[in-house]
Structure 1
Amino acid sequence: MSGPLLPDPAHERLTRLWQAHRPAGPWLPWDLKAVYQDRWVRFHSLPESKRYAQDEAEYAVLLDRYNTVLDELFGGGECYVVTTDWADPAEPTQWSHHRRALHPEGTVWTTLDETDDPDPECHTRWYFYADRRRWQRGGIDALLRAAADDSLPGVFVTDPDLTRIHHPYDGGADVILPTPGERDRMRDRHSAWLSAHPSGY
């Protein structure tokens, strides 16, 4: 791949919304819980806060938990499925190939230069890939499994207005709701999946 990487014009509206959230809005999905603390809840993906599934029965449990929440967030509507990559697309890593295989529908949405570290050698350019689709239960199970295994971090799903966001990862998922009240109601519906820690982590 050569030449400049141009964002997909179909994602322009999503980009405008994302930029409208700055500087408050997060650009990396693991920042969500800090930025939207008042609308955030974490659900564990396995009983007793177990971090990784060890057999198909446990994968069935975590996929059911992920999909149950995703159904509540996006059922009957459309959503964006987003994956991230830190590698230059001109020099793809094995992770890049893995991401593309799991998310072939994703087209480049935007990039982010992470330059907080004073050492330029530690600066990272993140690439975000997105596709807009009608939500269907089970439709992203391969991505959810990869996120749960930590073999493809940086996956998230959002509604087109960026008010409902689901970020799965090894051990659970961060969920952002439009209001604290909606967050509380979802948290109460799935109280058995919550962390016992007072902070919710």
Structure 2
Amino acid sequence: MSSALFPNPAHEQLTRLWQAHRPAGPMLPWELKTVYKDRWVRFHSLPESKRYAEDEAEYAVLLDRYNTVLDELFAGRDAYVVTIDWADPSEPTDYSAHRAALHPEGTLWTTLDDTDDPDPSFHTRWYFYADRRPWQRGCLDPLLRAVADEELPGVFVTDPDLTRIHHPYDGGADVILPSSEERDRLRDRHSAWLSAHASGY
């Protein structure tokens, strides 16, 4: 993979952190659980590890779980919200209207070319859009609901120091903490939301 970082003044701090990060970033959010396994925990968004909400009561449960953890990570702080679009590297992005409607504050931060596959038809260019905002509970609910319905994969929220990362997905969220000790405390507070599988998946 190769990446290109753009000189967007609004994202300079995030860019510097990614450039200094090891392993080098940016990376796709579903890779976080592997790269940071010693600081990673996964929470399921519905009881009994149910993947998709079927009514408003279940949407209320999953949004409460998302927001409870996000509050514990970012309350009283600024956070970067990052959404991702993609296209064939030989073509311009279509700037997904759905992504833009759900994240209108997001401006282009960086691109990432995934050209590892020997077959060029499987090459992809990923476009990362970011905005920085004071965290407020509920501020991402439309975005989180779209993620829960698998309408918008590739979303993550991070603190400005890139030490706390929340990657929601359909069925739950991967969370990266600054240390394994802090990860353990968060995990223990929400043990009822963990996978029953020994691996944590």
The TM-score, its normalising length taken from structure 1, stands at 0.93
| Aligned-pair CA distance for 1:23 | 2.6
- For 1:92, which of 91, 94, 99 is the aligned residue? 94
Distance across 2 between alignment mates of 1:174 and 1:126: 20
Distance across 2 between alignment mates of 1:184 and 1:24: 26
CA-atom RMSD in angstroms: 1.6
The one-letter code matched in structure 2 to 1:132 is R
Aligned partner of 2:64 in structure 1 is 64
| Aligned-pair CA distance for 1:97 | 0.5
State the SS of the aligned residue for 2:145: helix
The one-letter code matched in structure 1 to 2:168 is P
State the SS of the aligned residue for 1:86: strand
- 1:111-126 equivalences under 5 Å are 111-126=111-126
Aligned partner of 1:9 in structure 2 is 9
Aligned partner of 2:196 in structure 1 is 196
Aligned residues: 195
The one-letter code matched in structure 2 to 1:196 is A
Unaligned runs of 5+ in 1: none
Percent identical among aligned pairs is 82
Moved over 4 A (4+): 88-91
| Aligned-pair CA distance for 1:70 | 0.2
Aligned partner of 1:156 in structure 2 is 156
The answer on whether the counterparts of 2:45 and 2:65 sit within 8 Å (CA) in structure 1 is: yes
Distance across 1 between alignment mates of 2:13 and 2:133: 15
State the SS of the aligned residue for 2:185: helix
Distance across 2 between alignment mates of 1:82 and 1:142: 14
The answer on whether the counterparts of 1:7 and 1:110 sit within 8 Å (CA) in structure 2 is: no
Aligned partner of 1:178 in structure 2 is 178
Distance across 2 between alignment mates of 1:8 and 1:78: 18
- 1:25-174 equivalences under 5 Å are 25=25, 27-87=27-87, 90-92=92-94, 96-174=96-174
The one-letter code matched in structure 2 to 1:192 is A
CA deviations 1:41-62 (Å, max 9, x no partner) are 0000000000000000000000
More displaced 10-residue stretch of structure 1: 13-22 or 39-48 = 13-22
The one-letter code matched in structure 2 to 1:18 is W
Unaligned runs of 5+ in 2: none
| Aligned-pair CA distance for 1:9 | 2.1
